[in-house]
Amino acid sequence: MLSKKRFEIPPVYWSESQHFAGMGRQKLAAFCERLKRRYCNLRLKLLSSRIAYIFICAVFLGQLQAVADTLGSLDPTPTNKMSGIVLELNNRVGSWIWCDKTTHGQQCQFWKSFKVDRESQVTNAILWITVDDEFTVYLDGRELGSGTDWRDLFAYDVTPLLGSGSHVLAVDAYNQLLDAGLIAGLQISYADGRIVNIVSDTSWRIVSNTGKRWKIKTEPEAGWPRAKVVVSSSGEWWNRPRDIIAKPLVQTARLAFWQTGWFQTISWGACILIALFSVKLIGQLALHRKEERLLKLERLRIAREIHDDIGSGLTQLVLNGEVAQRSLPPDSKEHQQLEKICNDSRRLLAGLDEILWVLNPQWDTIEEFVAYACKYTEEFLKPTSIQCFFDVPSQTRLAAFSLPLRRSLLGVVKEALNNAVKHSGATELRFGVHCEGNKLLVVIQDNGKGFDAKSVKEQRNGLKNMVQRVEDIGGRFKIYSEPGKGCRVEFGVQLAHRTSSSKFSRQKDSGFDMEDTLII
């Protein structure tokens, strides 16, 4: 090691040490120590530089060996499928072709159509192409790649893209300065051993710059001239390429169905239709709410006018009749006529009160309907000997109860009470209202004599009217009766039902049949 060797002062430093001969031994020893350190540092630096140089050379040689190994393991052709290709390309590619005239900054479009046999499968298809100066190549309208150096030959494996039938090669070429040309060759190998070469020659066509969809046309147009051979492949311009650059294998893109254009187009169309339909529904809903609000205001106005005009007029008529009655003898004919007029006016006032209750939108709730129906039942049965029992909830939810529902259900209640008083001979009547979710069920049951089906069929106008009223609002009506066991009438309705639906669909949903619902 360096530290174990004896240190010797080089001659170059000896004259400098003699200069300090007159100094003391102690100073001389310190000076020598400094010289020793400087010399050691110098040798260490030289050694480090040599090691770094050796390391760099080793790395460089290793890289060269790796490149050599890689090149040795590679097939001399661009891909494994390109077996048999040699640098002599006379049989693989054609001649250099271009337009009739060559100019600076010129763009030239080449078109070539060919067919692939249907009888045999394509096992290998390689396209070689280059252009002086730049190009972009297409197969059946699909871009394969591009190149910018005419001294290199670009190779494309197009085997996956060549199915049986007609195909189109299209090249968009560009010349910057001086000479220009395109040279290309397509070698197709079939399973039966046949090899077909399609090379650049005068069979290629020149497409005008205004051509549309020319990359996928299988037949040339009349105005497309033939290409001109500029230099043959064996000419002095270019005999062998500087390099053959293999492009990656062309793989057919496999897209999921939701990534395809047709699916995305349909999806966007569906979204637009849904958006338009939603806007339409929102507009209709807003218009419907506005109509309902205006209708309620109109109903309230009509109810007020009826109450203020007709109601007050009838009340004044009753009061005047009662005053006139007092001035006449009780047994006189005029007194009896006035009494009849007063009674009729009171009945009209009672009917008018019912009309006002139906019209007023403030009473469009279940709670108000139950309260009014119970009050009406009590007043209707008060002159009779029938005792009434009520089975109604103490509290009902404040759900909307439209005008058609209230009017129809109240009409059915009145018809059922009228039938019970006239025909049942009952002593008790039970009036019940039940709310289950969005369903409202009304039950009227008496302990009268009941009836049978035959007697009802002859005189069933009242029952038909009740059934019709319930069907008009989309409800269900049922009646149970046996002789001597009273009668039970049930009718219910969905509170969320749209009363504007067709009458025929409501009749179908009600499922009522007179003979089926009458239980004897």
Return d(Cα 23, Cα 31) in angstroms, integer: 10
Residue 519, both tokens? 């239980």
Backbone angles phi, psi at 334, to 5 degrees: -65, -40
* Confidence band of 28 (pLDDT split at 50, 70, 90): low
Q: How far is CA 452 from CA 362, 415, 460, 484, in A?
A: 42, 19, 12, 10
Q: Could you tell me if 195 and 146 are in contact, meaning their C-beta atoms sit under 8 angstroms apart?
A: no
The fold for domain 82-252 equals: Jelly Rolls (2.60.120)
pLDDT in tens, 306-362: 777 777 777 777 788 888 878 788 788 887 888 888 888 877 877 777 777 777 777
Q: In the CATH hierarchy, which fold is given to the domain comprising 364-517?
A: Heat Shock Protein 90 (3.30.565)
The string over 85-105, giving b where at least 16 C-beta atoms fall within 10 Å of a residue's C-beta and e elsewhere, is beeebeebbbbbbbbeebeee
In Å, how far from its chain's centre is CA 77?
Answer: 49
For the entire predicted model, the pTM comes to 0.42
Strand partners for 115: 166
Convert the pLDDT of each residue in 241-263 to its tens digit.
778 888 776 555 566 777 777 88
Instruction: Tell me the backbone φ, ψ of residue 47, rounded to 5 degrees.
Output: -65, -40
Q: How many CA atoms lie within 13 A of 28 on its CB side?
A: 11
Of 413, 465, 460, 420, the C-alpha closest to 440 is 413
CB 401 within 8 A of CB 365: yes
Q: Cα separations (Å) of 387 from 71, 221, 346, 348, 416?
A: 113, 102, 25, 26, 15
How far apart, in Å, are the Cα atoms of 135 and each of 106, 146, 272, 278, 306? Answer: 12, 5, 41, 51, 91
Return the amino acid letter for 464: K
Q: What is the pLDDT of residues 100-110, one digit of tens each?
A: 888 888 999 99
- 376 CB neighbour count, 10 Å cutoff: 18
